[in-house]
Structure 1
Amino acid sequence: MKGFIGKAHKLFNADLVAGPQPPSEKRNPRPLSASKPSSLIAPSSTVGFSGMNSRSNLLPSIQDPSALDILRYRYHHATNLGSVYVLERWLSPSRFPQDTSGSSELEAVKAWVAKIGTEQTKQMFETCWANAILDEDIDWLRNEAKGTTVRLPIGYWDLPGEEFTRGTPFEPISHIYSNAWISIRDLILRLRAHNIGVLIDFHAVPGGANTNDHSGTNSNVAEFFTSPYNRKLGIRCAEFVARESAAGLQLAGISLVNEPNTDSETIYDWYDEATDAVSAIDSSLPIVISDAWDLKRAIGYSLRKNVVNPTKPINPIVIDRHMYWCFNDADKKKSPQDIIQEVSTKLSELNGKEGSVTDRGAVQVIIGEYSNVLSADTWVKTGETPKAELIKIFGAEQSLRYQQRAGGAFFWTWKMDWMPGGEWGFKAQSNPQNRFIFPPPHAFIPERNIFGLLECARNRKEERMWKAVDQHRAYYDHLAPNTLADHSRYEHGWKIGYADAYVFFEGKADEAVGPGNRLGNVELWLLKRIRESGFAGGFVWEYEQGIRRGIHDFNAVVGI
């Protein structure tokens, strides 16, 4: 067993420090037309740069990544906020009167109103919201935990205006939440000022997407997708957040619904309606959809939506996958060692689906929830290995896998009454003196070293570019010597990819986005760059592969 542990530690450390491998060039030559399309452009010999980010001789439609782009498309080493704006009694029992019969937000509010009245309940809730995240908490999240993003669970009742609770169980008590969105907005702005993005998560939608108490009630029914009224109200909620985003509230994304039941037959019809509504307001805001515990189906949907030439503007679609090994009976029969070995097989549904946005569309997965919790049934199968050691390996394996295959991972959770939270606690698992989950290696690069790494990237740009272009040209000349190609597209893409990765790593200090970021949601970023280019025809794939190689080469030069 000790040999297994040592191997796991070495594997984790080796994989984290190893440079990324270049994108594969293996692909079938394409049947191309005999004439060169007029849309092709001549290659630029150099990228002019003052700090590497001038694009005056690249496509005018391609601008530097913005501060908001970095917040949205970097790798998210992240956490969920916890039981603040959607109460769960197991996390925050102090928010419930002791004699409350239920465990949901609705039951807590009703019990407090009966006990102390509406106005005192309103004041108490507002005080709890205001004190949930202190400035020192934000400092810890950024500097100690190395967090980049917070998934912020909210309920439909937290939005301003009676229209969002009309016809729901929260209508009689909507007054208590009249300042909830003000509090949420203030928290978003405070986090943003410290280089932390926020993913708004509609954890509770009208009628409930599942039967659990984190849908807001203890009704034990899920009536969101079966009720036309609830479905329309859910879309109005998404539209509200989209309007806030369009008006300047900088969000990492919006998650439309949390953990819908697997038998929700009309879920993808509603996703279509919701994405159309949001796209009409702000088509840049990443939309996160739950996979409803069926990742293959969600991947198919994502590939159909994230196409390079949509008929109308549409938001990038991200898939939310939740990873737990403590709930179902099959996992309870496994030992910790079995589960640890299983981690590296997860997200294999993505195999063969990434790597060519031009051909297939884009797919990007985030882990919206995960923890280091295993069941009591699993822990009795531990053997002689100390539990703490197994938890550390489990957390390391999860961290590594998600950094390899996902655009980010959001631990469940940050805030609860019983801090620091054990294997459920982001605080406990992120202690710098004894980490059980691990930020990506680039999070530990001292800011004082980044200037030198950027200078190195500038100095090695030409060398890396011509090496990549020559390899690409030689590969295809050998593979299909008599097939038309336009390798200038590849060179052009390489320059954009290298410069994009540079800007992410450099950050935007004047806009409160610090340095040391790695482009993590690569598939969706490529989709964005291809759409912005206006390129069409048989050679777009060369542009895409050039961007991929440019990003890879920059990361290799600076060692991330």
Structure 2
Amino acid sequence: MFDKIKQKFEKAKGSVKHGDKGVVVSIPESPGLSKKDIYRNRYNYGVNLGGCFILEKWIFESVFDKGGDTEFDAVSAQTNHFSVDEAASKLARQYDDYINRIDWNWVKNEAGITALRVPIGYWHVGNGQFVDGLPFEPLREVYSGAKPWDVLKNLINKAAQYDIGVLVDVHGLPGGANTDMHSGYKNNSPSFFNKSKYVDKMVNVILPFICRDVCINYENVIGLQIVNEAVFDNSAKGQKNYYSRAVGALSQIDPGLPVVISDGWWPDQWAEWLGQTNLTANVVVDSHVYRCFSTEDKAKNANQIINDLPVSINWPRDRADFVVGEFSCVLDGETWNKTSGNRDEWVRKFGKVQTNAFANVASWGWFFWTLQFQYGDGGEWGLVPMVSKDAIPRRPHSSPVIDEHRVKEIIIEHINYWKDKGGDSMEHWRFEDGLRGGVADINAFAQFDNSRVGRWKSLALQRRAQYISRKGDSKYMWEWDQGYQRAIDEFGCY
């Protein structure tokens, strides 16, 4: 695996200019990073395009005017009431209406968004060409006419004009990873992981097609999410089978592609599994953070929920890369009934404490749910009002300031700490190499739209392998590890 990563990063060196394509930045003592590498590895201030492709009535309801609670039922109702062609036209208008409403300048320059998470269903892929034998097969001709896959590729191109990445999120799986309506189809039980026919179709056909068609061909596609909100499963045998097969298939096509899996509401389970399977460098674990649904959260007031966040959002960042694929500033009405004071002030505090907590443990950043609504601004579900009210921080435009004097202080602190603990026999120069390598990466990322280093675990593994290939392995490589991570912690945050 690392041989492929090494080949991927060993490219000609140059200087990066904002908006350039296919160029690389030179990194002292490190192989070059292409713009695509930075897209895939930077820390994200992101937002979901909920309701764009996978239809949700509470976000965009136009296609639901003939009935239905799921996308399948709503589109079927359109087809039955009108015709296949009219249903396809209505879907196409839905896509256009949603995307034409996006204020790209605001998203880019005001909010500072680095990436969009775009939920799709397997039935959208290739404009419905892979639905044979799957639940959406009856609607094949509708999606063939509506051409959502073409729209998605146009969206990716548009985002690239603003240096914004796209995470392709296969939100809807055949049979469902859960029983929620956002799977696009009403599933009485989450049967996907237990049906080999469904898993085979995704692993052997649909995911490879997505990878070859958009992940390789578009430099701003930052990753491929292969599941959304898998249900909790103590053994998770079916989930592990799907994830390992999918990662293996995708790695053969695009070795550097971040593959995103669900934490199944148990983050530690997946950090441990990634270590056991040696897939840590390939995978990002998606955790969703909502504090408005559980009975436990409804029993708390706003202050209690906010104070509990640093404890409840405490994932094993030293063992895996995490991303917050969804969160909001919403608290339940029962919580507000127990809360006194100014609601907007509580919401601001809630949003800021959440994003601060994410910055400590979610190395790939966060994606707010969601960008926009057909009617209104979504309130505490909407990015625009939450940014405007300063509940969700705007990404800073300033570059990181790295003081050489501070770098030297850190090195001296490390040496002094180990002086009476056998330090004379150690290789403190490896700590300095790791620290300076991390600093070099931070500076290189900052040259592209003031980006920050993300995917700390994966990038450190890549850099570690490259370093060993140049300077050899040692029982003191832990010093390099500490130095690299210290650079990210000390200088790499906004």
With normalisation by structure 2, the TM-score equals 0.87
Q: Call closer, same or farther: CA 1:269–1:157 in 2, change over 3 Å.
A: same
User: How far apart, CA to CA, are the structure 1 residues paired with 2:100 and 2:436?
Assistant: 42
Q: 2:451 corresponds to which letter in structure 1?
A: N
Larger Rg, first or second structure (1 or 2): 1
Percent of pairs with identical residues: 31
3-state SS, counterpart of residue 55 of structure 2: coil
User: How far apart, CA to CA, are the structure 1 residues paired with 2:221 and 2:142?
Assistant: 25
Deviations 1:118-174 (A, max 9, x none): 112212212221232238612111111221111110000011165520111211221
CA displacement at 1:328 relative to structure 2: 1.4
Q: Which residue of 1 aligns with 2:374?
A: 417
CA displacement at 1:224 relative to structure 2: 0.4
Q: Which residue of 1 aligns with 2:138?
A: 172
**392, 407, 411: which one pairs with 1:437?**
392
User: How far apart, CA to CA, are the structure 2 residues paired with 1:226 and 1:527?
Assistant: 33
**193, 208, 211: which one pairs with 1:239?**
208
Q: Call closer, same or farther: CA 1:492–1:327 in 2, change over 3 Å.
A: same
Deviations 1:296-316 (A, max 9, x none): 212212333457xxxxxx852
Paired residues in the alignment total 465
Instruction: Tell me, yes or no, if structure 1 residue 115 matches structure 2 residue 85.
Output: no
3-state SS, counterpart of residue 409 of structure 1: strand
3-state SS, counterpart of residue 365 of structure 1: strand
Of structures 1 and 2, the one with the larger relative CO (CA 8 A, separation 6+) is 1
Contact 1:49 1:55 (8 Å CA) reproduced: no
3-state SS, counterpart of residue 86 of structure 1: coil
Q: Which runs of 5+ in 1 are unaligned?
A: 1-47, 308-313, 355-361, 508-513
**268, 271, 283: which one pairs with 1:317?**
283
User: How far apart, CA to CA, are the structure 1 residues paired with 2:69 and 2:290?
Assistant: 22
Q: Which residue of 2 aligns with 1:499?
A: 440
Q: Which residue of 2 aligns with 1:517?
A: 451
Contact 1:206 1:233 (8 Å CA) reproduced: no
**326, 332, 336: which one pairs with 1:379?**
336
Q: 2:453 corresponds to which letter in structure 1?
A: L
Q: 1:164 corresponds to which letter in structure 2?
A: F
Q: Which residue of 1 aligns with 2:20?
A: none
**391, 405, 421: which one pairs with 1:479?**
421
User: How far apart, CA to CA, are the structure 1 residues paired with 2:219 and 2:143?
Assistant: 20
**231, 238, 253: which one pairs with 2:223?**
253
Q: Call closer, same or farther: CA 1:406–1:499 in 2, change over 3 Å.
A: same
3-state SS, counterpart of residue 530 of structure 1: helix
3-state SS, counterpart of residue 415 of structure 1: coil
Q: Which runs of 5+ in 2 are unaligned?
A: 1-12, 17-23
When structure 1 is superposed on structure 2, of 294-303 and 81-90 the one drifting more is 294-303
User: Aligned runs of 1:112-151 on 2, under 5 Å?
Assistant: 112-134=78-100, 137-151=103-117
CA displacement at 1:319 relative to structure 2: 0.8
User: How far apart, CA to CA, are the structure 2 residues paired with 1:315 and 1:546?
Assistant: 19
CA RMSD of aligned residues (A): 2.5
Q: Which residue of 1 aligns with 2:478?
A: 541
Moved over 6 A (4+): 48-52
CA displacement at 1:206 relative to structure 2: 1.0
User: How far apart, CA to CA, are the structure 2 residues paired with 1:392 and 1:286?
Assistant: 32
Instruction: Tell me, yes or no, if structure 1 residue 490 matches structure 2 residue 431.
Output: yes
CA displacement at 1:481 relative to structure 2: 4.3
User: Aligned runs of 1:87-126 on 2, under 5 Å?
Assistant: 87-97=55-65, 99-100=66-67, 102-126=68-92
User: How far apart, CA to CA, are the structure 1 residues paired with 2:292 and 2:26?
Assistant: 50
3-state SS, counterpart of residue 133 of structure 1: helix
User: Aligned runs of 1:115-514 on 2, under 5 Å?
Assistant: 115-134=81-100, 137-160=103-126, 163-178=129-144, 179-235=147-203, 236-244=205-213, 245-263=215-233, 265-306=237-278, 316-350=282-316, 354=318, 362-383=319-340, 385-407=341-363, 408-431=365-388, 434-439=389-394, 443-445=395-397, 450=399, 457=402, 460-461=403-404, 463-481=405-423, 484-507=425-448, 514=449
Deviations 1:5-46 (A, max 9, x none): xxxxxxxxxxxxxxxxxxxxxxxxxxxxxxxxxxxxxxxxxx
